[in-house]
Every structure is written in C-alpha cells, then in structure tokens.
C-alpha cells in the first residue's frame, strides 16, 4: 500500500457510498482526510471513525463553498495533496425529452460543475506530485436509456478530466474513475426505491461479465491507485471500474 502519511486528502460525497470508502482507504494509508458532504451529520460520523479527519459541509455546486472547503483544508493541514472529486447524483429514470429543464441543469451543476470548482479552488494549494481524481460513470461511455442528462454530465466529466490533465501537467495529475452501477444511494435517486427489484438487479448483472455490481471498495481502490505513486505517469486516464460492462 502506498504511504499517504503527511498528505491531505479531500473526499467530496464523503458521508456515504464511494466517498466514504475513499475516506477510509486513504486514512488507512496514513492520510489526513477532509470528509466533505452536503450531509454534515453523515460526514462527521465518518470523520469520527478516522484517526486524522475533519468534516466539512458543502454543496459541491456552490462556488463560494468550494473556495471555503479548500481554505479549510489548508488551514487544517497546510496543503492539499489529493482531491477526490466524487460527489454526484443521478436523476429519476425518465426519457430525456420529458425531463424538466431545471433538473437537467442540476445534473451538470452537481456532477460536472463540481469537478471544475474543486480543481479551480484546490489546485493553487496543491504541490507538485499532487493528484485530482474525479468520479465519472461507465454510462459516460456506454449508456442505457432513461438517464440521459446524468450520463451527459458524467461524459462532460471525462472531457473535463482530460482537459485539466493537459493544463495542470506536469505538477498535478488529473484522472477519473468510471464505475458501473453500485447498490449505494444511486438506486434510490434513480428509481425512488432503496434497492433494485430482484429482476432489475439480475438484468443489470447480466450485462457485467464479472457477475456483480461495483462495491464502494472497488471504486475506492481504483481511486487510491490513480492517486498513488504507482500511477505517477498516468494522467488524463478515465479508468473503467465496471467489471467489463463496457466490453460486453
């Protein structure tokens, strides 16, 4: 395992799901972690389980709150070494042309604008060798009907990741992970039910050669790798964490 002692890691969406697993993974490697989430109580619950961590409440679509997050991290730990720009949310399954325009705009604000704002306000405090890892989606590359705006926003994250990688090189590497669906809060936000029906779950798994959906740990492991020295020559990579769905 890479050593992240004396490193500061920000994880947005850190109160649950992928972000919680990322916070725990980096903390286990010695990092000081800023657990950032709109759900402050949840972020505090995660931070309280880690050896060196603070919780920060943030609406990741809000510019001022992103600026404040970076300032809080620097005040607490002196610098920012890794940004896991992970926070995101899908919309309810719906045909694109039936979708409310405000909800369409919300998808880009939370899922894409948040990555831009994280980079804008964190990068000035990141020393050479630092890393930004965004969370996109395998749906950005191989979509299914009903989540057009979400997938479009996550597709923009892929393009933004590559553009930032060029602009911030060689001092800051910028990569992304593209997970397949996972039984986290995604199901509730997309369907309104806390989990997929047995039939729906089986249909999703049928399209994944590895025979299961992603776990938060799968995504945290990939994020950790991209941020680590083992990936020191990787930038602009959008890594599929999908059990082979994109090639099925």
CATH of domain 8-183+216-240: 3.40.50.720
> Stretch 68-79: mean pLDDT, rounded?
98
Question: Which residue in 77, 121, 150, 151 is the catalytic one?
Answer: 150
Residue of 111, 97, 142, 110 whose CA lies nearest to 246: 142
Give residue-wise pLDDT tens across range 15-27. 999 999 999 999 9
Mean pLDDT, the chain, whole residue set: 94
Contact 160, 175 (CB under 8 A): no
Place of tokens 């950005």: 140
Give residue-wise pLDDT tens across range 105-117. 999 999 999 999 9
Contact 150, 91 (CB under 8 A): yes
- Which H helix or E strand runs over 241? strand 238-241
> Stretch 197-201: mean pLDDT, rounded?
76
Does the structure show a pLDDT above 80 at 214? yes
The bridge status of strand 32-37 relative to strand 130-135 is: unpaired
Q: Which residues of 80-111 are buried (b: 16+ CB within 10 A; e: fewer)?
A: bbbbbbbbbbbbeebeeeebeeeebebbbbbb
pTM of the model: 0.95
- How far apart CA 112 and CA 161 sit, in angstroms, is 10
Distances (CA, A) of 10 to 34, 104, 188, 214: 5, 27, 25, 22
Structure tokens of 14?
């850190």
- How far apart CA 190 and CA 150 sit, in angstroms, is 10
Confidence label for 190 from pLDDT (cuts 50, 70 and 90)? low
Q: Interior CA angle at 228 toward 122 and 63, to 5°?
A: 15
150 is catalytic: yes
Q: Where are the domains of the chain?
A: 8-183+216-240
- How far apart CA 133 and CA 84 sit, in angstroms, is 5
Residue of 179, 173, 182 whose CA lies nearest to 237: 173
Give residue-wise pLDDT tens across range 150-184. 999 999 999 999 999 999 999 999 999 999 988 87
């Amino acid at each position: 395992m890479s050593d992240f002692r004396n490193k500061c890691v920000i994880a947005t969406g850190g109160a649950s799901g992928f972000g919680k697993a990322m916070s725990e993974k980096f903390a286990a490697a010695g990092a000081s972690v800023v657990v950032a989430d709109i759900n402050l109580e949840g972020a505090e619950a995660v931070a309280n389980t880690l050896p060196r961590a603070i919780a920060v409440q943030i609406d990741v679509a809000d510019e001022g709150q992103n600026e404040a997050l970076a300032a809080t991290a620097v005040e607490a730990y002196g610098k920012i070494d890794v940004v896991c720009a992970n926070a995101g949310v899908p919309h309810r399954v719906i045909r694109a042309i039936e979708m409310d325009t405000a909800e369409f705009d919300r998808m880009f604000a939370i899922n894409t604008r948040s990555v831009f704002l994280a980079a804008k306000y964190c990068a000035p405090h990141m020393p050479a060798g630092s890393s930004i890892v965004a969370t996109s989606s395998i749906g950005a590359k191989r979509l299914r009907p009903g989540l057009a705006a979400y997938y479009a926003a996550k597709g923009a994250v892929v393009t933004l990741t590559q553009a930032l990688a060029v602009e911030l090189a060689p001092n800051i590497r910028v990569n992304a992970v593209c997970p397949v669906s996972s039984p986290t809060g995604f199901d509730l936000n997309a369907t309104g039910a806390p989990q997929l029906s047995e039939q729906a779950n089986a249909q999703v798994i049928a399209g994944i050669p590895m025979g299961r959906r992603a776990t938060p740990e799968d995504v945290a492991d990939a994020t950790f790798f991209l941020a680590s020295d083992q990936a020191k020559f990787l930038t602009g990579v959008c890594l599929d964490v999908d059990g082979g769905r994109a090639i099925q």
